[in-house]
A and B are shown apart, each in its own frame.
Chain A
Amino acid sequence: MSGDLSEKLAAYLAEVLSAPDLTVSELARIPGGASRETYRFRARYSDGGTRRERALILRRDPPASLIETERTTEFRAYQAFHALGLPVPEPIALELEGGALERPFFVMEEITGCEVSNILAPDPYGARRQSIGEQFWRNLGRIARADPAAIGLGDLEGARDVRECWRHEVARWEKVIREDELEPQPIAHAAIRWLKRNPPPPAAKIAVVHGDYRTGNFLFDAGGDIRAILDWEMTHLGDPLEDIGWALDPLWSHGDPTHPAGGIAREDGLRLWEEESGMDIDRDALQWWEIFASLKGIAIWISAGREYAEGRNTEAVNAFSGWYCLAFHNKVLAQRLGGEGP
């Protein structure tokens, strides 16, 4: 299968890059979440008389996706933020029809010499904690600062009215829960009602929301630099506080919620975000988005568990999500809404 895939990929890229002598080698599947199959490979070809070798990544749709994400959105987000100078891999090619490799896919630059943190590791960065922690928040601030229309993302899915961001997102994830829950979820439904009864103030602006900005979704190098922000598949327009709430979630805190994402202290991170984004954070509104983040997590884990239970996507991470992550977020929400919250 790997050889067959290499040949098909080489044929596709030879045409896209106008390099008839292009060859693909060292194709190997790597971990990359359940929403796409991720492969690393090398492409070698002639380019204007020069021999080139490029380290590339193939992201191909699985038979079923964890969340029905729009790969066009992900590809366009890579394009926009790579052009803006954020640490984002250069996107190379997008194939929506999928004929060449049987399913839709895209190809992007591989950022080599990096590692990704395991969300279960107690101390993911060691001596690089301060540097990575600061960049984590500054990069998120830069994403929030970007003008969606100016970077070509003004037509993304999401809210257009600053008063409607919260409502749009609650509706989106309530729908996922109602459609995918295989067993009744009383905590999730209580959270949905609470979120609707206690809406946050209007967003400070309509921003590009990464949608899954957290530990485990960026690459960092030995020098403590974040080299690539990944997994833009849930990118949409909305309240920039949504990304902060998700980044702060205890599931991504490596066991210490006072240091979100395993990085710097919470308030230090929020201050850096404010500096970089040019916006102040309404702490009451942020609390709402933190509760929303745990509900969104529940929706994703329910969906993942269903994919596994019904045999559409039996990646072990889906089973893990349906068991561990769902139980985790149920506990977080029960504590927050039930009287023992932070």
Chain B
Amino acid sequence: MKPQIDQLLGLTAGQLMTEIAPLIPAGYAQSQATLGAVMLSLAAQQYDRAAEIRVAENRELRALFAELAPLVADADLKAKLEAAAPGEDASLRISALDDSNYALRRLLIALHAHVEELPGATARGAEKRIWSVLRAAAERRQLFLG
């Protein structure tokens, strides 16, 4: 589809920021127009990256669950991790990816809290592994201004 959606959003943001907002008297309305332009620009970034971000994060979380499930002492949590680990995203719709992502993130919260309570070097290593996944996810979801 040409023009592409991110191009359209980016150009509209630029026009709003540099051509329209300056014509509005300084104050609330101008501020809203400028921030609206910023949001369009962020939406343009999201358009191109949204599916990739979610697919990558879901894949990493499932791999993490497969790796750490053997350490988990809680039988119920262990079963949930083992059930989630082999899953895959059948649909690439953002809403579907978000649904599976939220379920995986809920499981990650439970896994992380559980691992923190386990004694020993293996558990500490698992914690580091979880944080490496969280750091990568946070990095991947960064938005950039300007």
Contacts and interface: CB of A to CB of B under 8 A. Distances in A.
Interface string B20-43: 000000011101100110110010
A28 B134 contact: no
Given A316-B35, A320-B39, A31 B102 contact: no
A184 interface: yes
Given A30-B27, A184-B102, A331-B142, A320 B134 contact: no
A324 B143 contact: yes
A171 interface: no
Contact of A186 (B27, B42, B109): B109
A337 interface: yes
A327 B143 contact: yes
Interface in A92-132: 120
Interface in A296-342: 315-317, 319-320, 323-324, 327-328, 330-331, 333-335, 337-340
B131 to A, nearest CB: 3
A183 interface: yes
Interface in B29-70: 29, 31-32, 35-36, 38-39, 42
A320 B28 contact: no
Interface of A is mostly: helix
A222 B139 CA distance: 38
Interface in B100-131: 101-102, 105-106, 108-109, 112-113, 116, 128, 131
B112 A190 contact: yes
Given A186-B134, A327-B138, A334-B131, A31 B28 contact: yes
Interface residues of B, number: 33
A269 B145 CA distance: 28
Interface residues of A, number: 33
Contacts of A319: 39
A168 interface: no
B98 interface: yes
B134 A327 contact: no
A316 B112 contact: no
A339 B28 contact: no
Nearest to A340: B135
B69 to A, nearest CB: 17
A320 B46 CA distance: 13
B28 A330 contact: no
Contact of A184 (B38, B109, B143): B109
In the A-B complex, the 3 residue pairs with the smallest Cβ-Cβ separation, listed nearest first, are: A338-B131, A29-B28, A184-B105
Interface of A: 28-31, 38, 120, 183-187, 189-190, 193, 197, 315-317, 319-320, 323-324, 327-328, 330-331, 333-335, 337-340
26 contacts: A29-B29, A30-B31, A183-B98, A183-B105, A185-B105, A187-B138, A189-B113, A190-B109, A190-B112, A193-B116, A197-B116, A316-B35, A316-B38, A317-B35, A320-B38, A320-B39, A323-B143, A324-B42, A327-B138, A327-B142, A330-B138, A330-B141, A331-B138, A334-B139, A335-B138, A339-B131
Given A323-B143, A330-B138, 16 more contacts: A30-B27, A30-B28, A31-B27, A184-B108, A186-B105, A193-B116, A319-B39, A324-B143, A327-B143, A330-B141, A331-B141, A331-B142, A335-B135, A338-B131, A338-B134, A339-B131
